[in-house]
Structure 1
Amino acid sequence: MPPRAKRRSARIRDHGHRPLSGRHRRSSVQPYAGCLQIRRGRARRLGAITQWILERKENFGAFWNNATEASSAFTEAGAIIGQTWDTTGLLLNRDNPDFLYRAPEEGIITWLDSFGMLKQSENPEQAVAFMNFMLKPETGGMFSNNTGYNSAVAGAAEFASDEYKKQFNEVYTAEALGNMWWWQADTPFFAPVCNEFVEIMTNT
């Protein structure tokens, strides 16, 4: 690792891959007063986190929004630890074995991309056949080899390249896969509060 990297870390933010949240029409929706109370509570916690970061900002190498910026945080900005997408971490490791990508003991943030089909699709049978094809372990392995993304299909790693298979088995142990935290749906009142403190952290 470069000498300048020894005392710095990377903090990142992820604005992508957020699940869509639906609006409920049932009468059991939490009243506005309750939402306001939750918003204020989250604002207090985010405020405390933001203050902690600002008091130690010299230890933060970079804030990023995409994979290119994330890679640069480590290769150019001197960061030695950070949170990142698995693809970024695995590709960094392939280029330089000094970079290791591992799941934290607290657990990994998890989401699942899915398929969608329009109601008026003219060829639903072909669409379903394509979905079934993509959900085969053999196809999952090919998908991972060509895109760098992990396949959610069980056994896909066995059909990937030896390099990918080695990385997958090192990172995603049975313990790591048994300690996943699903990404929560955003609420209308949370995103503005979160964005407010993100701007303070990055621009102060």
Structure 2
Amino acid sequence: MAGIKTPSNLLILFTRFSFFPIHPTQFMEEKMKRSILIVIVLIMALSLTLAACGGKSAPATKAPAPAATKAAEPAAKEGGVLRMLTWEGYAPEELVKKFTDETGVKVEISYIGDNNELIAKMAATKGSGFDLVSPTLNYVSNSQKEYGIYQPIDLSKVDQKLFTPAHLKSILDNSQFEGKPYALPFVWGTTAMIINTEKAPGAGKSYLDLCDPKYKDRVSYRAKYDTLYMFAYALGLDPAEAVKDEDQYREVMNKVKDKLIECKPIVRTYWDSRQQMEELMTTEEVWVATSWDAAAWSLGLKDPKFKYVVPKEGAVGWFDTFAISAGAENIDAAYKWINFMMQPENAAVIVNNTGYQTASEGSAAMASPEMAKLVAESLPPEKLASINWYFPLPSYATDIQADVEEALKAAQ
């Protein structure tokens, strides 16, 4: 790994190896559709009830108070309000203030906990109420097909040179519906393993280490699709290829289910949130776990015994995007924010605050030396090249996965 631990060389690493020649447009599972529809109905019912009472609903946004703008020429100030629906950490207060100072645009932010919530909020009003949102790539095309909640990207408003070319091309290609792109790349990350190197030295060579009896009661992972993929790869199976045929995918997932049930006595608990995983690791209840890269790096900055490790099977990867709401009222401000956030010095704030990487050309070079070192150690070129990006899922595949997850939780 010599020669890739400095910020400047890290830029070369990311621009050269951060690509994914796949088509990760994940179809919505039927169970997810039902939950979204229920939430939509509840949202609409609440709105009607409040209207009948002559009142207004409480604001859903968690908007930081905009800082007073600096004096500037009126022509330089666009004004108005930009309404965003995004993830915690994707719109830091310091960048919101800077953006408002530069443009005169105030920013109101609503936060989401998962993509189901994002889609439900957007679908309830056909996107009205928000200008800019950050769906995970897997959900963009199919949610547009199902609910018509986005509008095509207008590339004439995008400063394309700010983006890593490979990321820009891939997201434009893989967010298409009826021949038009509906998303731009923003933040990406991976999921692999976190190891307490003092308690479990040498662990993390394979995902099957999560089944090693010597770590009994010291293991944790999510009972979710990413873990299913990890174990499929560890068993020498190819879920991305098998998913093209329903019977083959069921066969692969049944093998994964059998292995996970076999390993269940080793597992202390299944974690559901980043906070829960971090608590399990820091209290040393758990020594070996699956983890999102940023969570592991965050713990590693606090205590170097915690390492983010990508085993021989490769990490699994995801990409969050920018999408313009179909009901956007301040479209120009949305594109101004996108171009603003892709400026390397601004994107670097996201990198340093969250640990996630961005599609901004040059932002990796501006990462803090400590973060740059952790990223370079965990994701050298060969590990970046081996990332298993989320693959397209037909509805039968999501049903199969849901059945495996339920069977795993129910197993004694």
Question: What's the TM-score, normalizing by structure 2?
Answer: 0.39
Quote the offset at 1:135 in angstroms.
1.8
The residue aligned with 1:52 is 262
Q: 1:69 aligns with which of 267, 272, 276?
A: 276
Q: Would you say 1:152 and 2:359 are equivalent positions?
A: yes
State the Cα RMSD in Å: 2.8
Q: In structure 2, give the amino acid aligned to 1:11.
A: Y
The residue correspondences of 1:52-201 to structure 2 (distance < 5 A) are 52-54=262-264, 57=265, 59-76=266-283, 78-201=285-408
- Change beyond 3 A, Cα 1:106–1:65: same
Q: In structure 2, give the amino acid aligned to 1:144.
A: V
Give the Cα–Cα distance (whole angstroms) in 2 for the partners of residues 188 and 110 of structure 1. Answer: 21
Quote the offset at 1:15 in angstroms.
6.6
Q: 1:9 aligns with which of 219, 234, 239?
A: 219
Say which SS state the counterpart of residue 388 (structure 2) adopts: strand
The residue aligned with 1:22 is none
Q: In structure 2, give the amino acid aligned to 1:130.
A: W
Q: Are the equivalent residues in 1 in contact too, given 2:249–2:397 (CA < 8 A)? A: yes
Structure 1 segments, 4+ long, off by >4 Å, are none
Quote the offset at 1:102 in angstroms.
2.4
Q: In structure 2, give the amino acid aligned to 1:65.
A: D
Say which SS state the counterpart of residue 65 (structure 1) adopts: coil
Q: Are the equivalent residues in 1 in contact too, given 2:223–2:409 (CA < 8 A)? A: no
Give the Cα–Cα distance (whole angstroms) in 1 for the partners of residues 385 and 249 of structure 2. Answer: 31
Which has the larger Rg? 2
Q: Are the equivalent residues in 2 in contact too, given 1:53–1:201 (CA < 8 A)? A: no
Q: In structure 2, give the amino acid aligned to 1:113.
A: D
Quote the offset at 1:115 in angstroms.
0.6
- Change beyond 3 A, Cα 1:40–1:137: same
Q: Are the equivalent residues in 1 in contact too, given 2:223–2:408 (CA < 8 A)? A: no
Identity value in percent: 23
Q: In structure 2, give the amino acid aligned to 1:111.
A: W
Say which SS state the counterpart of residue 271 (structure 2) adopts: coil
Quote the offset at 1:175 in angstroms.
1.6
Q: In structure 2, give the amino acid aligned to 1:48.
A: D
Gaps of 5+ in 1: 17-33
State the number of aligned residues: 182
- Change beyond 3 A, Cα 1:138–1:2: same
Quote the offset at 1:90 in angstroms.
0.8
- Change beyond 3 A, Cα 1:11–1:119: closer
- Change beyond 3 A, Cα 1:150–1:36: closer
Say which SS state the counterpart of residue 10 (structure 1) adopts: strand
Quote the offset at 1:142 in angstroms.
1.0
Q: 1:37 aligns with which of 244, 247, 266?
A: 247
Of Structure 1 and Structure 2, which has the larger fraction of its residues in strand?
2
Q: In structure 2, give the amino acid aligned to 1:98.
A: K
Gaps of 5+ in 2: 1-197, 201-213, 227-243
Quote the offset at 1:100 in angstroms.
0.7
Q: Are the equivalent residues in 1 in contact too, given 2:348–2:364 (CA < 8 A)? A: yes
